[in-house]
Structure 1
Amino acid sequence: MKKLLLLVAFTCFISISSYSQFYGSFCYDCYTSIEVGGISSNISGLDKSSAKTGFYLGFLVYTEISDSFAIRTGTTYNSLGAHIEGYDEPLQLHSINFPLGLNYIKDYKYQAFVGGELGTNYFGTDPRLENADSFYDSFEIQDNITLFDASIYFGVGYIIADNIDINLKYNLGVTNISKYPEQNLKKNWLTLSAAYTFRY
């Protein structure tokens, strides 16, 4: 069932991106980008935890405000979490995020970006909970984890060709995702991605 949901989400992203080639008809001075990549994430404040790898998929919109600067918005899927000592399976959070930031391009070769991201934690798995492998139990993680969180991000990119970019981005969590006041858990992750950008 989990794989089916992820497949549906992936299909939705592809459907949206397929019409992005014509986005200029709906948006003045903007272009779109589809990103796919890998994530190394951890949760600060979680005892005896280490980084886990995950998957990243993004659909981004760049609205130009000058020749060098653009507003960067969109929607991303992030497979986040951490490995916990003593457990075979990691703590897993499936997060849909909404970034808003500023993008800078130099000589149409180099990029830099900075901004903030609103994150969501709809479902996931915690190996410390009983029956954590069950699909229905995956929603019980919301008993311990907040539905919304925020992070700030900064990154750099290199434009290989007119439509191909390589980006490296780091997100630093700024809000506590634990519902227990005595805990202070924050999501932090590094993303390496390749992007196909529909520049006009």
Structure 2
Amino acid sequence: MSHHAGRTRWRRFAVLMVPSVAISAALGIAMAQGALAASFLVSGQRFHITADTLTARGIGMYGMVDVSKDGEHVPVLVTGARHVTIDRLCQSVPIDIPGLGTYTLKLTGGQERPVEASHMFLDATFEAAGQADFEDLDIGIAQGEISKGPINPDDRSSRFFDPSGFGQQAESVRMTDVRVTAAAVSAGTFNVPGMRVRIEEGHHDCG
């Protein structure tokens, strides 16, 4: 009887961990250079990201449409950056588990040393900051002419990418009290000092 109960708990744990592994892969946590493809089908699940401070160099911003595995079209603002540092990163995503209810997968890092990422693309449905300070900013540049920051190579060949569409770029930006709702994040490298991952019952969003 006890052996059967143990197996039941393990099955429930496995159901919980499969989505968490997928989300961690989408974030590119501790990835090697080029380990994650530049383009992928998104899960359709939104997740929250907060940070005390985010500093980026080499920035390009443009509109795009992500596509989920179920065929849902998700309009997003893509922010591409050549290099990013993040203080006090938090990422959370709610996961509904049949028979168990809602759990929250939460990842934190960069408490003592900043998180660092290179060639990062953030596909966001919402972004906010307490303060944002840009340097050498160009607003209204054609998306196809963005040069200060990267554009996802697969986005350029997508039918949703408009080379004449509205874009923005800057040499750098520093943002404080950052709050983002995202559909996807990818990066060439993503280094997270002091990374912690925990799973909690109920809703426990960052911030």
Q: TM-score range by the shorter chain?
A: under 0.3
TM norm structure 2 = 0.24
**Bigger proportion of residues as strand:** 1
Which of structures 1 and 2 has the larger relative contact order (alpha carbons within 8 angstroms, sep 6+)? 2
